[in-house]
């Protein structure tokens, strides 16, 4: 698997660069996942506001609802949940698509034309993942904060000034960078695993369905494990 990634990056250095395919995959992985991200982001923000408020009231600290919510979204929930949504929505489709191309000999056909399949199938997806997942993460965090705001101000009576003022005071550039690093690495992980599983799929429809399941499970588990390591490294 490491070899697969190294080969892909090796070929990425040489032309042709196939920008149109990269744009197409950004549309597929990124743009078409936006609606899902907006929905899950909003509701995550809303439920987080309820739960956090419930906990904070016990300490009499409900005025810090804004920053607590923003920090957990920016540092943790945004990157992880948006990555999981992309895995379910686009990662599985990538594996299935590449797997079908493998079993119907379309990958061999590219190779037979002396065209490098990595250039057409793997590299555009890797780059599209690395570009679009941080952007999706940003959307997730923003709508999450607004969803939290709606609940905080509408239901629990925290004032709007307290909510955003707190966020401005307590969220630093470093927190945003942590989220960015995480989602960049998740973007690579998801597309790497999905492309690898599709590229080396087993025979027949059963092979592709197995590969797709494995890609989703492996991506999700890896995201959570990798998230722990990233957090522990970035906190120090």
Residue 102 CA neighbour count, 13 Å, CB half: 24
Nearer to other proteins, 105 or 206 (CB): 105
Q: Which structure tokens are listed for 122?
A: 């793997």
Nearer to other proteins, 114 or 173 (CB): 114
- Report in angstroms how near the CB of residue 100 gets to other proteins at its nearest: 8
- Report in angstroms how near the CB of residue 110 gets to other proteins at its nearest: 8
Nearer to other proteins, 100 or 176 (CB): 100
Nearer to other proteins, 102 or 182 (CB): 102
Site residues (vs other proteins, CB under 8 A): 100-101, 104-106, 108-109, 111-115
- Report in angstroms how near the CB of residue 121 gets to other proteins at its nearest: 11
Nearer to other proteins, 102 or 197 (CB): 102
Q: Is there a cis peptide before residue 16, judged by omega within 30 degrees of 0?
A: yes
- Report in angstroms how near the CB of residue 104 gets to other proteins at its nearest: 6
For helices 34-59 and 65-72, angle between their N-to-C axes, nearest 10 degrees:
140
């Amino acid at each position: 698997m490491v070899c697969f990634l190294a080969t892909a990056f090796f070929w990425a250095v040489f032309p042709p660069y196939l920008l149109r395919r990269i744009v197409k995959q950004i549309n597929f992985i990124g743009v078409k996942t936006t609606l899902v991200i907006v929905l899950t982001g909003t509701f995550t923000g809303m439920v987080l506001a309820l739960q956090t408020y419930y906990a904070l009231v016990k300490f009499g600290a409900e005025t810090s609802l804004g920053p607590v919510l923003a920090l957990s979204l920016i540092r943790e929930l945004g990157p992880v949940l948006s990555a999981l949504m992309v895995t379910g929505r686009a990662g599985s489709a990538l594996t299935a698509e590449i797997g079908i191309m493998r079993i119907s000999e379309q990958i061999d056909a590219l190779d037979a034309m002396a065209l490098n399949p990595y250039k057409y199938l793997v590299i555009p997806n890797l780059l599209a993942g690395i570009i679009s997942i941080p952007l999706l993460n940003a959307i997730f965090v923003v709508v999450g904060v607004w969803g939290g705001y709606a609940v905080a101000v509408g239901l629990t009576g925290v004032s709007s000034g307290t909510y955003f003022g707190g966020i401005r005071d307590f969220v630093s550039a470093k927190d945003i960078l942590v989220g960015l690093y995480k989602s960049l690495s998740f973007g690579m992980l998801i597309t790497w695993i999905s492309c690898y599983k599709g590229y080396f799929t087993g025979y027949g429809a059963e092979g592709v369905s197995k590969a797709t399941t494995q890609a989703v499970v492996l991506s999700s588990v890896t995201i959570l494990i990798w998230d722990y390591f990233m957090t522990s490294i970035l906190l120090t």
